Amino acid sequence: MSDSAFTSIGLLLFPALTQLDLTGPYEVFARAPNTKVHLIWKDLQPVVSDRGMAILPTTTFNTCPKLDVICVPGGPGQINLMEDEEVLSFIRHKSIEARLVTSVCTGSLVLGAAGLLKGYKATTHWASLDQLTLLGAEPINERVVRDRNRITGAGVTSGIDFALNVVAEIYGSDVAKNIQLNLEYDPAPPFTCGSPRTASAELLKKVQEQLAPFIEKRRQATVKAAANLEK
């Protein structure tokens, strides 16, 4: 651990992130014993999510302590991060010291852009899963994927599953179970359509068409990031 008494977990906070990618894991991590959770950005000004929620960073790149776990969430703002060398350099630096290098949703594409997923199995939101291949990763269509010290979560809501897995890794399954029960995390969604595997063909096609323009924009950013890795 980075401190004799505490596990230090850092969540990257950035403009236009999907807040649940961050706040789901935060809620789990903040309940773990002897754990300090840091929300990290370039400065301490409020950061606005893709849906308008403002979140305050707790530390900056320059003042961030040593991290045992670094986690990169996703969201539309991830596109800009993939060519932001200040962000990518920070993630690379922290990944060297971290016990676990992790992500939720399209945060894995940022890890990939930083060169941290080459040769690793990983996951991301289903609509962008194939893009991981461009960054040297092996896409796995699972809710949480572990490969050595890389742990990646799939889309948005998987962040809670992801975080419970991380807590179990650090503190053991009993602690993770305690947190899960305290959160009453017992999903019973009203509809069986939460993934391409369970959605109807008609609904899946509709959502894919809705997402297509943005997914293409994200793909172009991934292609560019992949080219930068080869330089």
Q: For 157-192, how does the pLDDT look when each residue is reduced to its tens digit (9 = 90+)? A: 999 999 999 999 999 999 999 999 999 999 999 999
In this predicted structure, what is the pLDDT of residue 136? 98
How far apart are alpha carbons 219 and 112 in whole angstroms?
A: 13
- What residues are labeled active site? 105
Report the pLDDT averaged over residues 56-77: 98
Report the pLDDT averaged over residues 181-208: 98
- Please say if the pLDDT value at position 2 is more than 60: no
In this predicted structure, what is the pLDDT of residue 1? 47
Report the pLDDT averaged over residues 19-45: 98
Domains and CATH numbers, the chain: 7-229 (3.40.50.880)
Report the pLDDT averaged over residues 150-161: 98
Q: Tell me what percent of the residues of the chain surpass a pLDDT of 70.
A: 98
Q: Pairing relation of β-strands 7-12 and 69-72? A: parallel
**Partner residues linked to 175 by β-bridges:** none
Give start and end residues of each alpha helix (H) in the chain: 19-29, 78-81, 85-97, 107-113, 158-171, 173-182, 201-229
Phi and psi, residue 48, nearest 5°: -100, 130
Q: Tell me what percent of the residues of the chain surpass a pLDDT of 90.
A: 97
Question: Taking a C-beta distance cutoff of 8 angstroms, is the pair 143, 160 a contact?
Answer: no
- Please say if the pLDDT value at position 117 is more than 80: yes
SS3 for 111-146 is HHHCCCCCCCEECCCHHHHHHHHHHCCEECCCCEEE
Report the pLDDT averaged over residues 32-46: 98
pTM of the model: 0.96
Q: In whole numbers, what is the pLDDT of the chain averaged over residues?
A: 97
Question: Taking a C-beta distance cutoff of 8 angstroms, is the pair 51, 67 a contact?
Answer: no
User: How many CB atoms are closer than 10 A to CB 20?
Assistant: 23
In this predicted structure, what is the pLDDT of residue 4? 53
